[in-house]
Each structure stands twice: as C-alpha cells, then as structure tokens.
Amino acid sequence: MSHYQAPLADMSFQLFDVWQVQQFWQQQTELAELVDADTAAAILEEAAKITAEKIAPLAAAADEQGVSCVSGEVTTPSHYRECYQLLCEGGWTGLSGDPEYGGMGMPKSLSGLYDEMMCSADIAFSLYPGLTAGACVALLQHADEATKALYLPKLYSGEWSGTMCLTESHAGSDLGIMRTKAEPAGDGSYRISGEKIFITAGEHDLTDNIIHLVLAKLPDAPAGSRGISLFLVPKFKVDAKGHLGERNNLICSSVEHKMGIHGSATCVMNFDGAEGYLIGELHKGLACMFTMMNYERLAMGSQGLGAAERAYQNALAYANDRLQGRTTTKDGNKADPIIGHPDVKRMLLNISSINEAGRAFSVYVGHLLDQAKFAQDTKAQARANLLTPVTKAFMTDRGLDACVTAQQVFGGHGYIREWGMEQLVRDVRIAQIYEGTNGIQAADFMLRKVASDQGTVLFDLIREFSADLAGSASTQIKAATERFESATQSLLERGKTQPELLAWVANDYLDLTGYLLYAFMWDKMEAALDTAKHSEDFIHSKQLKAKFYYNRVLPRIESLFSLIEQFPEDLSAEAKLF
Amino acid sequence: MSHYQAPLADMSFQLFDVWQVQQFWQQQTELAELVDADTAAAILEEAAKITAEKIAPLAAAADEQGVSCVSGEVTTPSHYRECYQLLCEGGWTGLSGDPEYGGMGMPKSLSGLYDEMMCSADIAFSLYPGLTAGACVALLQHADEATKALYLPKLYSGEWSGTMCLTESHAGSDLGIMRTKAEPAGDGSYRISGEKIFITAGEHDLTDNIIHLVLAKLPDAPAGSRGISLFLVPKFKVDAKGHLGERNNLICSSVEHKMGIHGSATCVMNFDGAEGYLIGELHKGLACMFTMMNYERLAMGSQGLGAAERAYQNALAYANDRLQGRTTTKDGNKADPIIGHPDVKRMLLNISSINEAGRAFSVYVGHLLDQAKFAQDTKAQARANLLTPVTKAFMTDRGLDACVTAQQVFGGHGYIREWGMEQLVRDVRIAQIYEGTNGIQAADFMLRKVASDQGTVLFDLIREFSADLAGSASTQIKAATERFESATQSLLERGKTQPELLAWVANDYLDLTGYLLYAFMWDKMEAALDTAKHSEDFIHSKQLKAKFYYNRVLPRIESLFSLIEQFPEDLSAEAKLF
C-alpha cells in the first residue's frame, strides 16, 4: 500500500519564501485578522496530520469497495462517513468560505495546498467537499442574499453538500445542445426535468442534504449556449429556517463503473419536475456555472500535483529499498538500491523537478486569485483567467506522466494492485478529462485567452518574469522567452489568415507555455533559497532539481517550438481520416 | 464495448508492397514450399475472422471475470477454453513452429501480424499461446533431440502450454541474485526448489499439461548470473511416449491482482523438490532463456501496437459518431461530429501515423529474423539483435501514448468501463514493464547494442536507409540522420571518459532512434504506393499520415537531440535525492 506525508517543508517554502504571501495577507484588513504565517503553518500541519493518518491509508480500501447504488440510495466506502465528519468538525469544509456565512475565509494560496494534500490522500474522497466548495463559490457570487443566507452556512459546515449538473449523454463539452427543461411553476420557482450524467457526488450517504446546481433551458430559451439558465435544486426541499422538508422529484438512477476514483459516486441523475430556484439571470446560467467551473479547474491542477506527489514519495522510498543490480558492491550475489542507477534517478528527478515547479505555480495562481478577490486587483484577475486552462491541463498532463513514471520505478510491482501505484495512475487519469477535457482547455487558452487580446496579458506576465530572472539559467530562460514571444506573435499573425491553425497547435502551445512558466518557477525558487533559513540538504535538493529542470526537462520546448513555428500551410483540416 | 477488425489492407501493404517479403520466401527452399503471398493472405484473413468474431468481443468479459486461484487450481475467464480450442484446431498455436515437430513453419514477418491481431483482440488471452511459442523457441534451440521430440509436438499442437519462470520476489531485473535451487538427483534429473513470482500462465485450465522453463542455481554454482542454469519442469511428469504421469511437486499458491490483463493468470509458483531436466549447458541458463526473452520482447512490440490499433479504430469511429460543437452547421441547437475539430484530428493522426510506422517496423524486424533464420544472414541477425530493445520499448511506450490519447478522444466516456477504452490503457501498461522494463531495454540498447561496437551495426543500418530515401521528406530525414550519427559519435566518445553518461541518456537515445527509424518507415511506405495497385483513398490516407508524421511527430527529435547533445558534465550520479 502506498503511503503519504504532506511535503510541509516545500509548502512553507513556496508560500512564505518564494511568494511571500504573508506580506500581502498583512496588508489586507479582511485577511490580516484571520491569518498570518503562524496560523497558516498550523493549518497546514493539522491538514497534514489528517490526510496522512486518516484519509491516505484508506484510499486503497476505498478503491476496492467503490460505491454502489440500490434504489436510488448510494453507499460510499465504509470509512468515508467518519473521514467526512472529521472534516466538518475541523471546519475544513468551509476553509476558504466567506466568514459572513460561516466560512473560515482562508486565502486560496493556502487552501490550494490543502486541496493538494486531499488529492494526494484520496482524489475520490476529495471530490465530495471539493464540489461543495465550488458550488459555494458560484452561489456566493450569483445567488441573492436570502439564498446565500439559507444555503451557504450549511454547505460551509459540511452538513449539506453541493454538485454541478451540466453534462447530458449527448451534451458534454458542448452544453449548448442540452435538453434539460425548466418550466416556470408560477410561484417564482421552476420545475426541472431531464437527465444529467457524470454527476460527481450526485447522491451519497455523507450529508443530510445535497444541493444541485443544474443547468437547464426554458421552453422559449434562445438556441445554443445563450439559452442556458442555472437553478438550485435541493435533494430535500428546505423551509425558510433551513429545516428539511419533503423529498424533491429527483433521483440517482445509477452510478458509473469507472477506470478509477472508485470511491467517488459518478451519478446519472433524473430530474422529474423537481423544484428548482433560478440563480443569477435567466439565460445567463453558463456564465454563472463557469464561476464554479473555473474554481474546479484550478482544483484539477491540485489533483494532478497531488497524485504526482504521492507517486513520487512512494517511488523514492521504493528506489531506496529495492535491491537490484550492482552500483557499488562487487559481490555478484548481492545488490544495491536501484536509486543508484542513473535511469532511476532520471525518472525520480523528472517527477520531482516538475512537481515542485507545479507547486510553486499552483501557489502563484492561488495568490493571483487572492489578489483579485481581496485587493480587487484586475491585473491579477486577468492573469488568473489566463492561467486557469494551463493549470488545469498542464498540471494534470504532467500528473499522469508522473504517476506512470513512478509506477515504472516499481517494475513489475508497479502493476500489482497492493502496491498502490496503479491506483494513482487510474485515479489521476480522470483529471485530464473532466471539467473540460485538456483539449478544450488548450483551445480556451489559445483562442479565448491568448488570441483574443493578441497576447497582451500573457506577454505582460512573461516580460515581468523575464525581467526578474536571477537564477542559474537566466540566459537560457531569457532566450526561450524571447523565442516564445516571437513565435507567439507570428502564430497569431498567421492565425488571422489561417484561422484553424490556432486550433491545430493549441495543445502544443499550451504545453510550451507550461514548460516555460515552470522554468520561471524554478528561477523564483532558486532566488528564494537562503542559507540562513534553509538547511544544506534542502538547498542542495532544490539546486539539483533546478539544474535538472533546466537541463533535462526544459529542452522539451525545442520540439514544441518546432511544432508551432513550422506548421505546414497545407495540412488540411478537411483531410479525410481512415 | 470496443470493437476490432484487423487492418488487413495495411498488413498486406506492409508485407507485400513495402518489404516484399514474398520474394525472399520464394528464394528459400524451406519457405517456398510452405508459404506464398496467397497463402499468407488467406492466413491473415482467417486470423482476422477469429480475432474479430471470437476473441475481441469477449475481451471486456475476460477483464470483468478475471482469474481465480483456489487450492492451486486456476480458473480463467469462461470463454477462454473455447477460444483456446479454436486456436489449437486451426493450428495457430504452432504457427511459427518448426515443421519437423509439427509446427506450421510460418515466417516471423507473417506471424508477427498474427501476434498483433491477437493482442488487439485480447492481450491477456494472447499470453497463453504466446508464452508457449516463446518456450518452444528456447527448447528448439537448446534442448536435446529427445526432449524436443517429446515436448515440441504437444506444445505446437496446443495440448500443453509453456511458461518462463525467472523472477523471484527479490530478483527481477537482477536475476543473478536468485535463490531457487537445483540439486542433482543422481539419475540425471534435478530437484528444483524455490518460489517464482509473476509467472504468466503458471497455472490455468486451458491445457492438460504445463511445461515450465525454470531458472535455478546449483548449490556449487558460480556467483551472480554466471551460475544460472535452465530446467524444464513439467506440471505433470511425462513418460517416454508422452503420456502424462504423476503430478510434479509444484503448485500455484496465488495469483496477482493487477491493474489490467485480468484474464491472464500471473502466478506465484512454488517448486518443492520438483523434478526438472537440464536444458542446454550447466550455468549457461541465462543465455538459453534469453532466446525466449528476445522472442518475447519482439512480441511485446506487438502488444503495444495491437492495443494502439484497437484504440485507434474505436477513437476514429467515436469521433465520426459523436456530435459536439459546430464546425459546419450554424444551428446553435445542432452539432457536428467531433472529427471536424482540428485537435481531434491531431490526436487521431498522432496515433495512426505512429501505428502504421510501427507496423512497418514490426514487419521489418520480423523479416530480419526470417533472413537470419532461413538464410543464415548474420547481418540481418545483428540488426535484429540491435533493434530488439527498440521494438520492445519504443513500440510499447508509443502504445500507451496511443491508448491514452484515444481514450481522451472519448472525453468522459473514455473513463467509463463499458466503452472499453480504459481497459486498453490498463492492459497495454504492462507491456512497458514486463520482459525487462523499458529502462532495462534502453540500457541494453545504449550500452550492449550501440556502445559495445561503437555504433557499427546501427550506423550501417541507418546509412543504408538514408541512401535509399525517396519520399517527400528525404532532405529533412537525411539531415536528421547526419545529426543523429554525429550526436551518437560524440556521445560514445564522451562515454569513454564519463561512463555513467550513457546510462543517463539511454532512455532519450532509444526514443530518438525510434522516431528516426519510424521516419524511414514512412519513407519506405511512400515509396511503395502504387496507383495501379492501391485505391485513391488508401494512397491519400498514407500520404496524409506520412506528411503528419514528418511535420508533427518527427519534430520530437529536436528535444531529444538537445538532451543528448547537451548533457551537463556535473549532473552528478552521486546526487542525493529527496
């Protein structure tokens, strides 16, 4: 079975040394009274304890047991209820929730690290509180005061949980063609009817009520995505005091059998004239839901990183334990730890040099969201918007790479269930798919985030990073930055006359951006190393990984540049495929 | 559920047009009377029928049922026995077996395509006859006449099956430290005692007897891998006439629970003074076993390709069926097939342009083996030896890529078991691990195959390919070939003073070689296109994929060159990892 212990030293380093978020916290009245570096460290330590001791050790059991659905009732793995109660009691379910409604009000730079730990511990379990937190973000921003007062406190406390009901069997990435109907009931409420699939935590046995956020269309709605509205549809109706009333007309008809995240109930939900309440404006539902989707997409990055971190810890331990081959001994009947083999070191450094850059990046994006939220920093908001698809796609793609590579370190044992490595591969795979496939993310990044403003926000960001370069690979990264900017410019230029070009290269362009951003992350980490503060081992380790990243990972951009710079004019998009 | 239909048109193209193996067959007396192009085509058609109709449709059921072990008896999925009988009746179990002992004597270039079909249909099932075929190769080459006459006919007929018992719990890649003992019984036989793990088809219900090829050490054996001997250890002892006698002292104590290939019985085998017979010379067992291992490693390539081919067929069909987004229609309530999206085309062309090059490569390597075997062509043998680790590692790495990418085309449905795509990912993953991990393959390639003769065989091969270049990317490939040769030379030069360097870059070097070789494959395919022989669609499809490969896949070598050319002097192999 695989173990897990939160990498607290690195987490503190990223928060307090690399990004020095405590300075920002102190400057914001709203945050200054809630959190400082000591409080944050204590929160991380407590989260580390819970995840290491209570959740992570049972992830394999959750995978084995899975969920079942009988007559609309879903049973989750046997220990989930106790673990979930633990989260509620500790206030973890409302960690980044608005204090006005009972949340703890913690900044995203901090709660993102908690997300990472939860994902390392058990992605499937993390989805129950994770979806709730996302639903709260959407309600907080778009619901009216009465709705917020009624629902948010119970969602933050964990008594109730939330979902997002978007997908239908024929409408996934393309929500505009959905068929779920909402008909005005005459009393201000609506009757929701239709079938939604892939609804994470759509039904389960962890909370007293489940609050569904459902996208549906009014009978007279405009065609396509401009006709979608958002509704709050509770499993049990709620009176004005928050007491549970009668069961709403909705049921989970089945749960999916999946490759992984077996502990997560992925439900087919049938709404049959269920009572629902409009959230936000009519026909503006997709925008409201995207508040939640964007929150979830950032959390996806944590899934990729979380699984990769656990995979790394176990591969490292195995490589130190497993004796195969001779690297120092001369005795043919003896063997040395496989970590002595360069190829094993190569695999481990590939994983860790990407993981730690990913953690720096994740804290950075979280910090941008905090700057936008607490200091109304529009530049930070624009950057967070820009980087959301990169966080989602790049971090989950690298997450799968990491888990596959770590599994490889185990040799044959990596393929055997009891070692736990294959579960990490199966579990993390979903993160590349849900909340918008990584292909969708790449298109979003290339077309809606970069091309839409001709690279303005992106160039501003990388120029700032580039001007600050201070580490051992400044020259190399500066050159890559210049090539990146010029490649982007000519790409956007060619995109004006060859519009499909951008869609063809979107995936490679997102990857290229990711590898370049991670180089900046390593530069920032190098700059934050301090012999007065950090141990010799810590500094040595960071410098080794920085060097490995610059020399053995960053060269991946060579091929990506080539792909972007040399797209053939006549690789027709009309080509017939066989 | 995923479907499968063997790509017969491409298989014929590769055999008869690209490599024109029929000309070689005709020149070899031994082959000329057994097989010509028509016979081969008929064999492929029949194999296509069996795999499409009988085996492939039940792969999901086999995955669901798995195998069980109760008191040493292993039960395979319920339809395996019938499928296995079908193979026996058709002579498929002896397809490439020596006719002197009842085999069909087919060349490897042909039987390799049968292997691919079997792997597309069900990798788990393919292992039962696959291991037997490998065991036969080892026996044919190393056993004495009496042993061959006694065992080969029943193995070729499929009445009995074979295994290879190498791994022990503490000895996998490093067989030198194995503990299984062989003690002379005084009558010429040996008593074998020890525990072997990861024994594919170690016990099952498909055949009357199981012939284990077991590596063990005599009490006075030299240390390390120079003290290993090979023994034939039957499950049931066999009298001189081939009748089954008493049960030997060996038992399957359990089967592993794995990520995939659930239908394959991966056994822990306990030998407790089991009667065994020496094969080949004492202490030379590893070399004997490597005859089998090398055969298996080529078959691994077919696993990667087989899974990738099935993944492609299903992703292509899904991309044509699934309606999401608008590429031609303007109606916001309608949607077009997702194959219209450039990113989906990109994914599909990535898979198919690599798959078809892989098939060309696989037939080429099979043909080399045939030239070595039937025409005693030592140059061909040297090339086959050189390319064995590339076939094993590169084709299985690309196999996982392909299955993951094809799964991605399915979006959320790719993660759901009933669609069958996630099974392909789980099943193909093992091929990167067993029969020597791909890291071991890379080290073998770099150190034992390339560095050992300072690149002589490799350079000779690529110069020949390079001189023959005739397709649309000749200039690009020629330039890459020159850079490859010069990069290799300076790498080998630096390896003399910095010996660990070669081990550090082995993985990247193997990948680089693979992508370059696949470019040659596309060049050969382009050259073999003939308007008099091939349909317009076929030619269009090949040209599109060739172009895609040169423009969108081959640029991956840019990064690999960079990694190989710029290895830092001081990235210490002694570095401490955390």
CA distance A338 to A322: 6
Mean pLDDT across the stretch A172-199? 95
Does the beta-carbon distance from B433 to A443 stay under 8 Å?
A: no
Nearest CA to CA, how far is A99 from chain B (Å)?
36
Active-site residue, A46 included: no
Domain end point (choices B225, B255, B284)? B284
- ipTM score: 0.97
Report how far residue A444's alpha carbon sits from residue A365's, in angstroms, rounded to the nearest whole number.
17
Determine the average pLDDT of the residues in A416-422: 97
Distance linking the first and last C-alpha atoms of chain B: 44
A109 in the same domain as A188: no
Predicted confidence at residue B575, as pLDDT, reads 57
Average pLDDT value for residue range A283-297: 82
Task: Give the per-residue pLDDT at A299.
Answer: 85
Residues A86 and A198 in one domain: no
Domain-ending residue, one of A95, A118, A152? A152
Query: Do B147 and B211 share a domain, yes or no?
Result: no
Distance between CA B3 and CA B310 in Å, rounded? 7
A422 to chain B: which residues are within 8 Å by CB?
A: 258-259, 426, 429
Residue B561 within a domain: yes
- For an interface test with A, the pick among B323, B569, B578 (most A C-beta atoms closer than 10 Å) comes out as B578
Q: Do B411 and A437 touch (CB under 8 A)?
A: yes
Give A210-253 pLDDT, tens digit per residue: 999 999 999 999 999 899 999 999 999 999 999 999 999 999 99
Indicate whether A444 and A533 sit together in one domain. Answer: yes
A118 and A212 assigned to the same domain? no
Distance CA B323, CA B329 (A): 11
Domain co-membership, B16 together with B117: yes
CATH code (residue B272): 2.40.110.20
Give the gyration radius of chain B's Cα atoms: 24
Which of B133, B152, B171 marks a domain boundary? B152
From the candidates B45, B435, B493, B536, which is the catalytic residue? B435
**Cα A247 to Cα A262: distance, rounded to the nearest angstrom:** 27
Average pLDDT rounded to a whole number, residues A310-315 = 98
What pLDDT, on the 0 to 100 scale, is given for residue B572? 62
For residue B345, the chain A residues in CB contact (below 8 A) are 504, 573, 575, 577
Kindly state whether residue B431 falls inside one of the protein's structural domains. no
Instruction: Name the minimum distance, in Å, from the CA of A371 to any CA of chain B.
Output: 33
Closest chain A C-alpha to B68 CA, distance in angstroms: 15
Query: What one-letter code names the amino acid at B400?
Result: L
Pairing status of strand A190-200 against strand A160-165: unpaired
Measured between beta carbons, the chain B residues lying within 8 angstroms of A331 are 223
Q: How far is A555 from chain B (nearest CA, A)?
A: 5
Position B293 scores a pLDDT of 73
* Nearest Cβ partner for B576 among A171, A323, A540: A540
Which of left, alpha, beta for A435 (phi over 0: left; psi -120 to 50: alpha)? left
**AA identity, residue B517:** L
* Structure token pair of residue B563: 């990694």
Residue A448 is which amino acid?
R
Q: Do A555 and B555 touch (CB under 8 A)?
A: no
- Residue A299 forms part of a structural domain: no
**A188 and A169, same structural domain?**
yes
Burial class (CB in 10 A: 0-12, 13-18, 19+), A159: middle
Q: How many domains does chain A have?
A: 3
Residue at B224 is within a domain: yes
| Interchain proximity A414–B433, CB inside 8 Å | yes
What's the CA gap between B542 and B1, in Å, rounded? Answer: 28
Q: Do B342 and A503 touch (CB under 8 A)?
A: yes
Per residue of chain B (578 residues), give pLDDT as tens: 899 999 999 999 999 999 999 999 999 999 999 999 999 999 999 999 999 999 999 999 999 999 999 999 999 999 999 999 999 999 999 999 999 999 999 999 999 999 999 999 999 999 999 999 999 999 999 999 999 999 999 999 999 999 999 999 998 888 889 999 999 999 999 999 999 999 999 999 999 999 999 999 999 999 998 999 999 999 999 999 999 999 999 999 999 999 999 999 999 999 999 999 999 999 999 988 877 777 777 888 999 999 999 999 999 999 999 999 988 888 888 899 999 999 999 999 999 999 999 999 999 999 999 999 999 999 999 999 999 999 999 999 999 999 999 999 999 999 999 999 999 999 999 999 999 999 999 999 999 999 999 999 999 999 999 999 999 999 999 999 999 999 999 999 999 988 889 999 999 999 999 999 999 999 999 999 999 999 999 999 999 999 999 999 999 999 999 999 998 766 665 556 76
CA distance B59 to B307: 12
A35 falls within a domain = yes
3-state DSSP call for residue A251? Answer: strand
Residue of A228, A256, A345 to mutate for B, most B C-beta atoms under 10 A: A345
Q: How far apart are CA A439 and CA A436, in angstroms?
A: 8
Q: What is the pLDDT of residue B541?
A: 94
Q: Is the pLDDT of residue A297 over 80?
A: no
B177 shares its domain with B97: no
Q: Which residue has the tokens 């992703």?
A: B315
The three-state secondary structure class of B126 is helix
pLDDT, residue A555, reads 98
SS (H, E, C) A402-446: HHHHHHHHCHHHHHEHHHCHHHHHHHHHHHHCCCCCHHHHHHHHH
On whether residue A298 sits in a domain, the answer given is no
Asked whether the beta carbons of residue A332 and residue B414 sit closer than 8 angstroms, the reply is no
Chain A neighbors of B219, CB-CB under 8 A: none
CA distance B212 to B489: 43
Q: Chain B contacts of A347, Cβ < 8 Å?
A: 439
Listed in sequence order, the DSSP H helices in B410-499 are 421-429, 438-443, 456-468, 474-497
Q: Which residue has the higher pLDDT, A578 or A449?
A: A449
Neighboring chain B residues of A177 at a CB cutoff of 8 Å: 323-324, 332-335
A118: in domain: yes
CB contact under 8 A, A352 and B577: yes
| Number of Cβ pairs < 8 A linking chain A and chain B | 255
**Residue B384 corresponds to which tokens in the numbers above?**
């086959």
Query: Which of B167, B408, B507 is closest, CB to CB, to A439?
Result: B408
Q: Which residues of A touch B227 (CB under 8 A)?
A: 332
Per-residue confidence (pLDDT) for residue B41, from 0 to 100? 98
Instruction: Mark yes or no for CB contact A412/B258 under 8 Å.
Output: no
Query: Given A435, A482, A493, A574, which residue is catalytic?
Result: A435
Residues B167 and B269 in one domain: yes
pLDDT in tens, B54-94: 999 999 999 999 999 999 999 999 999 999 999 999 999 99
Average pLDDT score over chain A:
95
Q: Are residues B250 and B135 in the same domain?
A: no
CB contact under 8 A, A170 and B323: yes
pLDDT of A183-195, one tens digit each?
999 999 999 999 9
Interface test with chain B among A165, A177, A348, by most B beta carbons within 10 Å = A177
A324 domain-assigned? no
CATH number at residue B79: 1.10.540.10
B250-291 pLDDT, tens digit each: 999 999 999 999 999 999 999 999 999 999 999 999 988 877
Asked if A417's CB is within 8 angstroms of B334's CB, the reply is: no
- Chain B closest CA to A86's CA: distance in Å? 30
- Give the residue among B221, B402, B419, B371 at the shortest CA–CA distance from B304: B402
Domain identity same for A204 and A117: no
Nearest by CB to B257, from A222, A226, A418: name it: A418
Q: Which domain holds residue B541?
A: 438-572
Q: What is the token pair recorded at B164?
A: 């290879």
User: Could you read off the pLDDT of A102-147 as tens digits, one per residue?
Assistant: 999 999 999 999 999 999 999 999 999 999 999 999 999 999 999 9
Using CA coordinates, name the residue in chain B closest to A442. B343
Q: E-strand spans in A263-332?
A: 266-279
Residues of A in contact with B432 (CB under 8 A): 408
Which residue is closest to A356 within chain B, CA to CA? B578
Query: In the predicted model, what is the mean pLDDT of residues A365-371?
Result: 95
What percentage of residues in chain B have a pLDDT greater than 70? Answer: 98
Bridge-based pairing of strands A266-279 and A250-255 is antiparallel
Question: Same domain, yes or no, for A12 and A134?
Answer: yes
